[in-house]
């Protein structure tokens, strides 16, 4: 299976040598990121927007003990769904991504843009849905990234905009860049 991890095409789900914090809120040194811990950020090549599934987010929820002490699974899962579907104050990730694709084209195929937006959305949603005292990013970050992606799409440079947001998101997770990312 060819998978996409933060814009990087891989034939396996492992990422040797990559370290970071599996549980961003946990104390102590970063733990190695394993295929199991990060499998949920991998998408296939269907070209459809991702629909959140509990089984994709439950391992991420379980990996953060600090968040579990403040927020139960039901509350976490509810916020994941709000991220994707939206609410009175936001259209949600899926609708915003659909708008991005309508605004113009760049050097990426539609399927590639959808894959990268799916991966980015899953990374952001998994962290954003956590309790406010634990999460590393907040609604202001998500809105700022959304404006950045919207501007890039309008200007026909969504590929560059995606790379910039992906870079910032991965830096918040302390995932070292390999230099091979877009």
Bridge partners of 9, per DSSP, are 4
Across residues 116-140, what is the average pLDDT? 94
**How many CB atoms neighbour CB 33 within 10 A?**
20
Contacts of 30 (CB under 8 A, 6+ apart): 19, 20, 21, 22, 174
pLDDT range class, residue 174, cuts 50, 70, 90? low
Between 130 and 29, the higher pLDDT residue: 130
Q: What's the pLDDT tens digit per position in 88-125?
A: 889 999 999 999 988 867 788 889 999 999 999 999 99
pLDDT of 18 above 70: no
- Cβ neighbours of residue 69 closer than 8 Å, sequence gap 6 or more: none
Residue with the larger pLDDT of the pair 85 and 29? 85
Q: Which pLDDT belongs to residue 76? A: 98
DSSP states along 158-172: HHHHHHHHHHHHHHH
Chain centre distance of CA 106: 21
Please state, in angstroms and rounded to a whole number, the distance separating the CA atoms of residues 140 and 46. 31
Query: Is residue 27 predicted with pLDDT exceeding 70?
Result: no
Q: What is the pLDDT of residues 31-80, one digit of tens each?
A: 333 333 333 444 444 578 999 999 999 999 999 999 999 999 999 999 99
* Dihedral sign computed on CA atoms, order 96, 97, 102, 107: positive
CA 39 to chain centre: 12
Token pair of 80 as six digits:
């994941």
Of 16 and 44, the structure prediction assigns the larger pLDDT to 44
Average pLDDT of the chain is 76
Burial 15-32 (b: 16+ CB within 10 A, else e): beeeebbbbbbbeeeeee
Longest Cα–Cα distance of the chain, Å, equals 44
pLDDT in tens, 152-170: 999 999 999 999 999 999 8
Predicted local confidence at residue 54, as pLDDT: 96
DSSP string, 26-40: --SSPPBPPHHHHGG
């Amino acid at each position: 299976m060819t998978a996409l991890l933060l814009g990087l095409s891989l034939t396996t789900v492992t990422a040797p040598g990559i370290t970071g914090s599996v549980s961003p809120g946990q104390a102590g040194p970063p733990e190695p990121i394993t295929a199991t811990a990060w499998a949920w950020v991998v998408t296939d090549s269907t070209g459809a927007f991702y629909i959140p599934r509990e089984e994709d987010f439950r391992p991420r929820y379980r990996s953060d003990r600090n968040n579990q002490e403040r927020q139960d699974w039901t509350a976490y899962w509810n916020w994941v769904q709000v991220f994707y579907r939206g609410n009175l104050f936001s259209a949600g990730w899926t609708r915003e991504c659909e708008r991005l694709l309508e605004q113009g084209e760049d050097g990426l195929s539609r399927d590639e843009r959808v894959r990268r937006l799916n991966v980015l959305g899953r990374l952001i949603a998994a962290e954003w849905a956590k309790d406010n005292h634990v999460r590393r990013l907040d609604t202001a970050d998500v809105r700022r990234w959304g404006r950045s992606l919207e501007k890039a799409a309008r200007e026909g440079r969504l590929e560059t905009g995606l790379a910039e947001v992906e870079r910032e998101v991965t830096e918040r997770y302390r995932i070292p860049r390999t230099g091979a990312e877009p």
